[in-house]
Structure 1
Amino acid sequence: MQTLMLSPESRYIAGAVLLTIVGIEFGGWFMTRIVGGKVPMTPFQKSFARAGHAHAGVLVTLGLVTLILADAAALDGILGWLARVGTPTAAALISAGFFLSSMGRGEVTRPNKLIWLVWLGALSLAVGVVTLGLGLLTTS
């Protein structure tokens, strides 16, 4: 049976990503306050808070998986970095985009200009997973 050893790059990124889970846990606690009516928000803001929290959890988990796959494909150099950091970066950007673009006082019913963070995160996700996918398909 083969033992999996993470590259130093993947190990450092995994350590940092795992520490972000505490923030996601705090977001879950805050979501219970929102759903319980203790935090006044418009339906739009509630939906964006849910989206931000869900994207954080899913993309952080996917980001940890991509580290193992990048090491399995022996990706190095710029392609290795793109494959390793694309998804964790997307988790931060997309979540921040949902949260920050729905902030404001009064009756907030549509995203503000910070919605561009969601699209930047989507680009980061696409670059990361396409780089990794191609790396896995072309590794012999």
Structure 2
Amino acid sequence: MTSSYLISSGVILLTVVGIAYGGTFLMRVVDRRVPANELQRSYFRAGHAHAGILVILGLVVRLLLLDDAVPGWSRAMGDLVLLAAILMPAGFFLSVIGRDPARPNGLKVLIWLGAGALVVGLVAAGVGLIVGGASL
């Protein structure tokens, strides 16, 4: 394991603290102390949930792909799960920014880009683990 890998994994783990702090914003939204319409409340909840789950999933994928038997392409593509942890929540939050939006704006595309990154990253990680396991 390289020092840059350890440092980047540590930084990623520390983002969970930020996500947890974001939960306090979500509580203010749900308690109606922050003005938000129902669309915004729903999207903010989804963004917060996706951020937390995908960061942890991205770290788990990184740990699973540490073995030298796993092909390098799989390790690189596995980090797409972490990219999804950025894109999807950003899409949920940024697509409903503004005063009382009636529908999400064009930044909703980030949700779909994140979903694509998630699928590709998980498939690459899964195939890499199978290939690595079969070659032992």
TM-score using structure 1 length = 0.87
For 1:94, the equivalent position in structure 2 comes to: 88
1:133 aligns with 2:126: yes
Segments of 5+ residues of structure 1 without an aligned counterpart are: 1-6
* 2:70 and 2:131 in contact (8 A); partners too: no
For 2:103, the equivalent position in structure 1 comes to: 110
Counting only pairs closer than 5 Å after superposition, residues 1-140 of structure 1 correspond to structure 2 as 7-8=1-2, 10-72=5-67, 74-83=69-78, 85-105=79-99, 107-139=100-132, 140=135
* 1:34 and 1:46 in contact (8 A); partners too: yes
Q: Tell me the matched-pair count.
A: 132
Instruction: Kindly state the Cα deviation for residue 76 of structure 1 after the two structures are TM-superposed.
Output: 4.8
Paired with 1:79 and 1:138, the residues of 2 have a C-alpha distance of 10
Structure 1 stretches (4+) deviating beyond 6 angstroms?
none
State the AA in 2 paired with 1:118. I
* 2:71 and 2:128 in contact (8 A); partners too: no
Cα RMSD after superposing both structures: 1.5
Segments of 5+ residues of structure 2 without an aligned counterpart are: none
Paired with 2:41 and 2:90, the residues of 1 have a C-alpha distance of 14
State the AA in 1 paired with 2:23. G
* 2:51 and 2:89 in contact (8 A); partners too: yes
> Identity of paired residues, percent?
46
